[in-house]
Chain A
Amino acid sequence: MGAASKAKLVSAKEAKTLASKTCTWLSTREGKKALKTAVTRGGQLSNRLKEARKVNPESLRKPMGF
């Protein structure tokens, strides 16, 4: 393996143990809420870009004369 293997901090077995703990957390009220917030925030992030695609038509007709 190349560079990535040097960053490997956990084995596949350890990763599964951590994943099980994450799954337990995901079933809690706190976990459900955190995931929902993440999805909402992700939508908000992309909405900024979607809004930005609606360019004011007036600014498209101003000449660039320098």
Chain B
Amino acid sequence: MPQISFEVAKYTIDKLLSLLASKSNISIDVVQSKFHAKYFKSYFDELQARTIVIENGYIDRDYLEDYAAYYARCFREYPRQCTRLHFFNKNFTHKCFADLLRNAKSSLTIESLQESYLGFIVIRPLPLTIVGRTCLKTYDTNGDRRHFPVVREYKVNLYGIELPIKSIAFQEQDRAVSACATSALWSAFHRTGMLFQHAIPSPVEITQSANTQFPLASRGLPSSGLNAEQMAGGIRSVGLEPYLIEVSDQEVLRNVTYAYVSGGIPAILVFKLFRTENNQSREMGMHAVTVTGFSLRSSNDEPTKQVAFKATRIDKLYVHDDQVGPFARMKLDGVTLPDKNIHSIATAWSDCHRAVPEFVLIPLYHKIRIPFESVYEAVGIFALSVAAFSNAQTFPYPDDIEWDVFLTTVNNFRSNLLETSILTGDRAERVLCDRFPRFMWRATARTNELPMFDLLFDATDIEQGRFFHRAVEYDPGISAYLRHVLNHQNIEKTIKNTLAWQIVDWFRKNPA
């Protein structure tokens, strides 16, 4: 058995592209023509990559599954082993790395490698779709602007050196065993598998299980692409429930994506892709990507004096787009297609490729039963009523209230209370030791970025029931104010038959 060899190279984009070409045995022209080439250049520039460690003869579980199901049965012989490239933002040489492995004196330490680790790319030995499982560090948060809730920790092992990285797996679809929809599901399952404890299927297993439920929709292998019904079947095959919502209205897209993605649940965005040229747009087909994060505009940009949801500040989505790369930007710039009166969003493909969102598909644990729209209705009516008091100039705070509505778990809620020290003393202990459902919708009301109170809804309840669980109050002034005002007879008369009544009723019945 030959020894597994490694190489160490100084990072440059030309070096990376030549490695992608040589290790997959395709021409450099093909590699350079891919969107990934341009994307990796800007991404690794941003991450400040310095060194690549090349792990030859790497056996990748996902590729091996695809290989066994498809490539092993081809007449042409495809290699079984891949190459894995590891990236570091630190300069070191082959000798330094070899000395570290030999336990000899080296300027390199395991800790310094761990600190400088940026992630890896697996190169598959295939004719065109060479970017296999890829886990790269996210962009930095840039203050509080960028958010990447849909990541998990991977413990990468490089010749015995443990390199932890927070990311979510990405791969280019290979057009034999999967298309973009399968890749989007595969990335999403890497997160939900950790969140909801289910096995993470390989791409070929996803395609096969999706086709089992709708066998006539398309050929199984080679795959020409799944439709939404098949994707829903793929979600059910891992024991989750698909939540589907149309997002042609970009405010709906912002609110829904924020609500679930903030809770760490990936959303699969399906859109029509258009190519625009000379003031004309041509539809290219349907495409699916996994939403892994978002960027928020500053809260000071647009004072509203009305009800404001934090979600409406989303100005970019970060998506795993198998045709481009991980954490690719899609800018919600409000531009309409040149020859059609349809709102579109920018893609990372190129300036002339625009996306028209169709729907979002979210894989949910079966116990998450209360959909976002029910919570949005209850919070929306309550929030608008409170905003009305504000217009009367008798509200305790002069600034707008911003509502932050998202799905959370009891553990995350408690940890957040403890970490932020919003509550202290007996009140903190009482809240932390209270009983809560496992999944909750949390609506935080803030003014000037400081929390006034949380409204907590039981996400595991039934819609016809009273799914409001309780409020957690942080400001005695607003607590006293609300209890007094919400007891007014006109409030009962106007709000009683709405979903917001359960919130009002809780304030009326529970003393501060």
Interface residues of A (CB under 8 A from B): 1-12, 14-16, 18-23, 25-27, 31-32, 34-39, 41-43, 45-46, 48-56, 59-66
Contacts and interface: CB of A to CB of B under 8 A. Distances in A.
A53 B476 CA distance: 39
Name which of A39, A41, A43, A66 has the most chain B CB atoms within 10 A of its CB. A66
B396 A34 contact: no
Contacts, number: 222
Given A1-B423, A54-B246, 14 more contacts: A15-B484, A22-B481, A26-B491, A35-B385, A38-B385, A39-B498, A42-B498, A46-B380, A49-B373, A52-B249, A53-B244, A63-B218, A63-B286, A66-B225
B485 A65 contact: no
Main SS of chain B's interface residues? mixed
Contact of A15 (B244, B270, B396, B447): B396
A19 B252 contact: no
A49 B394 CA distance: 32
7 contacts: A3-B421, A25-B394, A46-B376, A52-B249, A53-B373, A59-B359, A66-B179
Nearest to A32: B490
A39 B227 CA distance: 39
Contact of B245 (A21, A45, A52): A52
Contacts of A4: 422-423, 450-452, 474-475
A18 B483 CA distance: 12
Contacts of B480: 12, 15-16, 19
B343 to A, nearest CB: 14
Interface residues of B, number: 81
Contact of A39 (B384, B395, B424): B384
B408 interface: no
Given A15-B480, A48-B251, A64-B225, A39 B494 contact: yes
Name which of B270, B452, B478 has the most chain A CB atoms within 10 A of its CB. B478
A65 B155 CA distance: 32
Contact of B481 (A2, A19, A63, A65): A19
Nearest to B173: A66
B477 A10 contact: yes
A55 B477 contact: no
Contacts of A11: 476-477
B257 interface: no
Contacts of B256: 49, 52
A14 B384 contact: no
Contact of A8 (B421, B477, B490): B477
